[in-house]
Amino acid sequence: MVITATRSAEVASGCGACGGVPVRDPGQFVERGLLRRGVEGRCRSCPEGWCETGTGPAPEEIRQALLARHGPARLRLAGQPGRGGLVPVLRALRETYGLPLGETRLMAAELSGAGLSGTFVERAYLAQGLRKRSVATTLAPPPPA
């Protein structure tokens, strides 16, 4: 098992078993080339606990918890597209997200401009797909406002 990126954040809510305060630990990670998500939970007052996992983009609740805890990351192309222009970028985006060509072109334009913002793991996953197509990128926090 190879994990290339991972992030998590604790979120408190109400326990269904005892009424105590369980803590949920949502996270995202890249495993075996797949974008994955998971939520582990445990109650502070009783032995209740659980774990849920899934593949693909995280629900907005998980994304927002990770963005609040870690801040957004920004992925940009590292320089101008080489021979072939944006074709390798478009192919990587289509392979990674399965989007229609129009949306893929918009994402490619953002990548070559200001960059795409999202969770660190989402952007690390896209950077991995771009590397497979020999597209160099930079992954960093956005500049201060």
Cα 100 to Cα 54: distance, rounded to the nearest angstrom? 24
What is residue 1's predicted lDDT score, i.e. its pLDDT?
37
Tell how far CA 32 is from the center of its chain: 15
Give which of 73, 65, 61, 62 is closest to 125, Cα–Cα: 73
SS3 track for 47-113: CCEEEEEEECCCCHHHHHHHHHHHCCEEEEECCCCCCCCCHHHHHHHHHHHCCCHHHHHHHHHHHHC
Using the 8-state DSSP alphabet, how is residue 37 labeled?
Answer: E
Angle at 45 between CA 58 and CA 22, to 5 degrees: 15
What is residue 2's predicted lDDT score, i.e. its pLDDT?
41
What is residue 82's predicted lDDT score, i.e. its pLDDT?
63
What is residue 127's predicted lDDT score, i.e. its pLDDT?
95
What is residue 23's predicted lDDT score, i.e. its pLDDT?
83
What is residue 142's predicted lDDT score, i.e. its pLDDT?
52
Per-residue pLDDT of the chain (145 residues; tens, 9 = 90+): 344 455 555 555 677 778 888 888 889 999 888 999 998 888 888 888 889 999 988 999 889 989 988 899 999 999 776 666 789 999 999 999 888 999 999 999 999 988 999 999 999 999 999 999 989 999 987 555 5
Evaluate whether 66 touches 27 at the Cβ level (below 8 Å): yes
Architecture per CATH, domain 73-139, reads as: 2-Layer Sandwich (3.30)
What is residue 17's predicted lDDT score, i.e. its pLDDT?
79
